[in-house]
Amino acid sequence: MEHITAELQQLGISPIPTFSDVQLHPDLNPVDVYRAVIIEQLHTITGAEPQIINNAVQWTQDLKHGDLMLPVPALRLKGKKPDELAKEIAEKFDSPLIEKPSADKTFVRFFFKPEPYAKLVLPSILKQKHDYGFNTYLGLEDQSNPSSRKQRIIVEYSSPNIAKEFHTGHLRSTIIGGFLVKLFSRAGWEAYSLNYLGDWGKQYGVLTQGFEKYGSEEELEKDPVKHLNEVYVKINQDNSKEQEPLKPLIKKKEDLEKAKNPAKIPKPAKGEKAEPLPEWTEEKEKELQQVEADIEKVKEDLVAIPSIDEKARQFFARMYKGDPSALKDWQRFRDLSIKAYIDMYARLNIHFDEYGGESTVKEEKMEKAAEVLQRKNISEDSKGAVIVDLSKHGAPKLGKTLVKKRDGTSLYLTRDIAANFERYEKYNFDKMIYVIASQQDVHVAQFFKILELMGSPYSDIVAKCEHITFGMVKDPKGQTMSTRKGTVVSLADSLDASKEFMHDVMRKNQDKYDQVANPEATADILAISAIMVQDYSGKRINGYNFDMEKMTSFEGDTGPYLQYSHARVCSMERKTAIPASELVTADMSLITAKEGIELVRLLATWPDVFLNTYKTREPVTVLTYLFKMTHQLSSCYDAKDTSNKNAKTMSVMYADSPEKKAALMALYASARQVLSNGMTLLGLTPVERM
Ligand code: ARG
């Protein structure tokens, strides 16, 4: 703050104007110095209230349209025509920090004067270092009171299913959730990571049998996630063979039911004629009854054998009752899987504060919820099971949903309902985010809606909850990936594959490769950067194709490119070896080339980019900025002098004076700092050599 004050004092701007109803942080955000000046002057010129002015002043899409702009109608002033008022403002506005503004129809565009800007911005970055850009007031209960309580947020993400594959959907949830935790922490919230494992249900009865038949203790210890998945796939194939006699019968039953209840026949597409409805005859009714009887009989036979499926049901019933011998293997599988997950998550810079899961949801909480549902007439009985028909409760699109099975066991949905309340009791959060794939949009909408219908306290808690959804990851050709096709088996495998790929890419440049101290570790970091950046490259809701070749390239907007930009400045810093204290006090007025000035302007907007990201919660907001900034950085390296076309005016190595060298290095070190701050916010580990 002191350096700003001193600098501004020389320019006659001291103290920086403050306003009671506008929160500005000139000490954190250099653009806020300018906001303060603009608000003060516009208030004098137009009489508009500071708060209204602050809301009206906007970023531009591109700095060529100004550092800030004002759409005059947003001042909501009566009387004068906006274009006339724009002219008047442009004429009367006068500040040593800002060029004479220009009126552009109903807009006023503000361009900041380069020299004072560089003098404000660069030292501010070099002093704030890894804190630059992050506004920790945002998470406070009262943003105007720095000593008020930090709000608490729980982010539930990743949530793989033990024994089933850790697919790219889980990987995406992991990456996005990890980002959100970092985003909220850097905005001053107290943020917790919660992993809600899929670790409960009949499938664990299936898995235990699979392990007896196909399991290997050695493989289990080595890679439990992969091994359990292999075992699970095998036993399911056996199970499905056993179920074969049932399949044609079930199909027949479904067809008959459709014919009986034509509402279930999908409506014809526009322009197509509806098929004539088949007649429902007494004969057909008999046929249906016969099929139902046959199914029961085959099932009985299967029980008599007894089948894998039936044994699994019985086994799970014992787990459900808490039988220690039934829980022993399950507990071991769970513990070993978590141990393996912890290592994989660490590679992604992710750490979970809690490994919960469906198994930990308390029976009594589900009972309680069921009781509320019944008492408030939200749920109803249906052939011995309990359902909620959301169409009767103002949500026709959400349809009917089962909340309790005929055998009384709970369901995925019921567990989510109870877990929501349980977590609130435990954490007393101000906000909770669920990061769950868009395939489950309906599920989430249903359980949110049910909680809302249940009334206080459930409805108050769900009002604090938010679902962050995301699109699907496909293979390079745009096809769905699956274990059966052998595309992805375990997360560790796919991370290892990317790492090997990256390692090969690095080996192609033998000279550089020889200089890297720990190529293995670097390849791993680069591979993970590649995967993450690919994931962040579009809006969350869009899916993308997992394309190893594209994401590991050093050209184009990739993770390796960001790493390369970072490492390049690190190498310059090593070579020039100017102490940090000298960089902060360097004479920034020596940065005169337009490429350098553009870079300063971009670096100054990082705190605003962070604010915007906090609003959009889109990692792509950060990423787009980082690519724009690093492209500008790289254009500085090649900048040519207008008087001497051969000299690289912004090259540190050829700088014509030690002062110039220090000023350029201050600029590049600032850019590296901002790049590093952006990368760590995204969960990447910036490398110093590669
Ligand atoms: N385990 C689930 C799956 O893999 C995801 C869990 C999402 N979270 C939740 N609260 N339902 O499909």
Check if 161 has its Cβ closer than 6 Å to any atom of ligand 1: yes
CA gap 362, 583 in Å, rounded: 58
Check if 434 has its Cβ closer than 6 Å to any atom of ligand 1: yes
Check if 157 has its Cβ closer than 6 Å to any atom of ligand 1: no
- Across the range 474-481, mean pLDDT stands at 81
CA gap 335, 224 in Å, rounded: 10
Strands 354-357 and 190-197, how do they pair? parallel
| pLDDT for the residue numbered 238 | 87
Q: Over 80: is that where the pLDDT of 407 sits?
A: no
**Which pLDDT band holds residue 384 (cuts at 50, 70, 90)?**
confident
| pLDDT for the residue numbered 165 | 80
Tokens, residue 390: 């959301």
Q: pLDDT tens-digit profile of 180-225?
A: 999 999 999 999 999 999 999 888 989 998 999 999 999 999 988 8
CA gap 152, 275 in Å, rounded: 56
Q: pLDDT tens-digit profile of 493-537?
A: 778 888 999 999 889 989 889 989 899 999 999 999 999 999 999
Kindly state the helix (H) or strand (E) to which residue 421 belongs, with its residue range.
helix 412-427
- Number of H helices and E strands in the chain, helices first, is 27, 13
| Least confident among 91-95, 426-430, 491-495, 558-562 | 491-495
Q: Whose CA is nearest to atom 6 of ligand 1?
A: 159
Check if 534 has its Cβ closer than 6 Å to any atom of ligand 1: no
Q: Whose CA is nearest to atom 11 of ligand 1?
A: 416
Question: Which ligand 1 atom minimizes the distance to the CA of 416?
Answer: 10
Q: pLDDT tens-digit profile of 626-682?
A: 999 999 999 999 898 766 666 788 999 888 899 999 999 999 999 999 999 999 999
Q: Whose CA is nearest to atom 5 of ligand 1?
A: 159
Q: pLDDT tens-digit profile of 527-550?
A: 999 999 999 999 999 999 988 889
| pLDDT for the residue numbered 304 | 66
Give the other-Cβ count within 10 Å of 1's Cβ: 11
Report CA(542)–ligand 1 centroid distance (Å): 20
Check if 490 has its Cβ closer than 6 Å to any atom of ligand 1: no
| Least confident among 28-37, 337-346, 376-385, 470-479 | 470-479
Check if 196 has its Cβ closer than 6 Å to any atom of ligand 1: yes
The SS3 of residue 371 is helix
The SS3 of residue 641 is coil
| pLDDT for the residue numbered 579 | 97
DSSP states of 87-137 as a string?
HHHHHH--BTTBPPPEEETTEEEE-B-HHHHHHHHHHHHHHHGGGTT--TT
Comparing CA positions, the residue from 673, 624, 672 lying closest to residue 61 is 624
Query: What is the percent of the chain where pLDDT is above 70?
Result: 94
| Least confident among 219-233, 247-261, 347-361, 576-590 | 247-261
Tokens, residue 201: 């249900």
**Which pLDDT band holds residue 487 (cuts at 50, 70, 90)?**
low
> What are the structural domains of the chain?
2-112 (3.30.1360.70), 516-681 (1.10.730.10)
Comparing CA positions, the residue from 655, 662, 654 lying closest to residue 587 is 662
| pLDDT for the residue numbered 368 | 94
Q: pLDDT tens-digit profile of 66-115?
A: 999 999 999 999 888 999 999 999 999 999 999 999 999 999 999 999 99
- Across the range 598-613, mean pLDDT stands at 98
CA gap 613, 1 in Å, rounded: 25
**Which pLDDT band holds residue 559 (cuts at 50, 70, 90)?**
very high
Report CA(168)–ligand 1 centroid distance (Å): 13
Whole-structure pTM value: 0.89
| pLDDT for the residue numbered 268 | 64
Check if 446 has its Cβ closer than 6 Å to any atom of ligand 1: no
Report CA(54)–ligand 1 centroid distance (Å): 42
- Across the range 278-298, mean pLDDT stands at 86
| pLDDT for the residue numbered 67 | 97
**Which pLDDT band holds residue 276 (cuts at 50, 70, 90)?**
low
The average confidence (pLDDT) of the chain is 91
**From 157, 195, 196, mutation site for ligand 1 pocket: most ligand atoms within 8 A of C-beta:** 196
Amino acid of residue 519:
P
**Which pLDDT band holds residue 266 (cuts at 50, 70, 90)?**
low
**From 157, 172, 416, 440, mutation site for ligand 1 pocket: most ligand atoms within 8 A of C-beta:** 440
Residues acting as catalytic residues: 164, 167, 170
Amino acid of residue 307:
S
Comparing CA positions, the residue from 319, 410, 415, 350 lying closest to residue 195 is 350
**From 166, 436, 451, mutation site for ligand 1 pocket: most ligand atoms within 8 A of C-beta:** 436
Q: Please report where in the chains the tokens 């909480």 appear, as a residue.
A: 365
| pLDDT for the residue numbered 134 | 98
- Compute the residue count for the chain: 690
| pLDDT for the residue numbered 31 | 97
- Across the range 425-435, mean pLDDT stands at 98
Report CA(196)–ligand 1 centroid distance (Å): 7
Check if 414 has its Cβ closer than 6 Å to any atom of ligand 1: no
**Which pLDDT band holds residue 265 (cuts at 50, 70, 90)?**
low
DSSP states of 192-260 as a string?
EEEEEEB--STHHHHHHHHHHHH--HHHHHH-HHHHHHHHHHHHHHHHHHHTTTHHHHHHHHHHHHHHH
Report CA(48)–ligand 1 centroid distance (Å): 50
Report CA(436)–ligand 1 centroid distance (Å): 7
**Which pLDDT band holds residue 577 (cuts at 50, 70, 90)?**
very high
Report CA(603)–ligand 1 centroid distance (Å): 39
The SS3 of residue 387 is strand
CA gap 688, 515 in Å, rounded: 12
Can the peptide bond before residue 278 be classed as cis, meaning omega within 30 degrees of 0?
no
Q: Whose CA is nearest to atom 10 of ligand 1?
A: 416
Q: Whose CA is nearest to atom 1 of ligand 1?
A: 198
| pLDDT for the residue numbered 264 | 53
Check if 361 has its Cβ closer than 6 Å to any atom of ligand 1: no
Question: Which ligand 1 atom minimizes the distance to the CA of 197?
Answer: 1
| pLDDT for the residue numbered 262 | 67
CA gap 492, 5 in Å, rounded: 52
CA gap 390, 552 in Å, rounded: 47
Check if 159 has its Cβ closer than 6 Å to any atom of ligand 1: yes
Report CA(182)–ligand 1 centroid distance (Å): 21
| pLDDT for the residue numbered 548 | 87
| pLDDT for the residue numbered 300 | 77
| pLDDT for the residue numbered 220 | 93
Q: pLDDT tens-digit profile of 153-170?
A: 999 999 999 988 888 889
Give the other-Cβ count within 10 Å of 633's Cβ: 25
CA gap 195, 28 in Å, rounded: 34
**Which pLDDT band holds residue 443 (cuts at 50, 70, 90)?**
very high
Question: Which ligand 1 atom minimizes the distance to the CA of 164?
Answer: 4
**Which pLDDT band holds residue 565 (cuts at 50, 70, 90)?**
very high
Check if 448 has its Cβ closer than 6 Å to any atom of ligand 1: no
Check if 203 has its Cβ closer than 6 Å to any atom of ligand 1: no
Check if 436 has its Cβ closer than 6 Å to any atom of ligand 1: yes
Helix axes 168-186, 606-616, angle to 10 degrees: 130
Report CA(160)–ligand 1 centroid distance (Å): 7
